[in-house]
Amino acid sequence: MAIEPTSSSASIPHRILDVLPVVMRVVAAQMRGTRHALSSGHMPVLAALRYTTYTQSELADMMSVSNATMSNTLTALEERGWIERQRSTEDRRQVYIHLTPQGQRALVESTEDMEAHIAELTVGLDAEARQKLLNGLDVLETVFMSALMNITSSEREVEMHTRKIRMK
């Protein structure tokens, strides 16, 4: 099924809203097929914890979920041995979440699995189509990173995403 390209700026929001759910559905299904059978809520949390610790409420804000939902996610990750909760020595009410070595390994291996799955999806694209896709993703990233900076006051969250971009 070929989709006709259009340059109308009015069609951009419509196309994004059409395409992103399909992308996320495929990615979520493929995550469940990785060596570690991640859910779509696990990988972003592990990725956020890759470089620094966060509190449960900071993670909930970053993932746009309730504290109760994040608590359930963290419990599942903790049961797998991928994260640990550590009470602050300065403020006993604060609990910091950090990635364990097993969690780091699960993140790395799952990322490798996901990249291989996505590579399989794009293997049929010729060089021109690949370049167009990369250019489009660059534009999408620029637009949405700008939006992220407007909706979050967390410099740590913006830095986390910026660090990922620099690693490319």
Q: What is the pLDDT along the chain (168 residues), one digit of tens a residue?
A: 555 555 566 698 999 999 999 999 998 888 888 888 888 889 999 999 998 899 999 999 888 899 999 999 999 999 999 999 998 888 888 889 999 999 999 999 999 999 999 999 999 999 999 999 999 999 998 888 888 877 776 666 666 655 555 455
Given this model, what pLDDT does residue 37 score? 85
pTM confidence score: 0.77
Cα atoms in the Cβ-side hemisphere of radius 13 Å centred on 41: 15
DSSP 154: -
In angstroms, the first-to-last Cα distance of the chain is: 31
How many H helices and E strands in the chain?
Answer: 7, 3
* Residue in the block written with tokens 């620029």: 142
Rounded to whole angstroms, the Cα distance separating 25 from 3 reads 19
Task: With both helix axes pointing from N to C terminus, report the angle between 67-79 and 56-63 in degrees, rounded to the nearest 10.
Answer: 110
Strands (E), 18-126: 54-55, 83-87, 95-99
Residues present in the chain in total: 168
Question: Cα–Cα distances in Å, from 33 out to 73, 102, 139?
Answer: 19, 18, 29
Which residues make Cβ contacts (< 8 Å) with residue 113, sequence separation at least 6? 30, 33, 34, 35
Given this model, what pLDDT does residue 154 score? 61
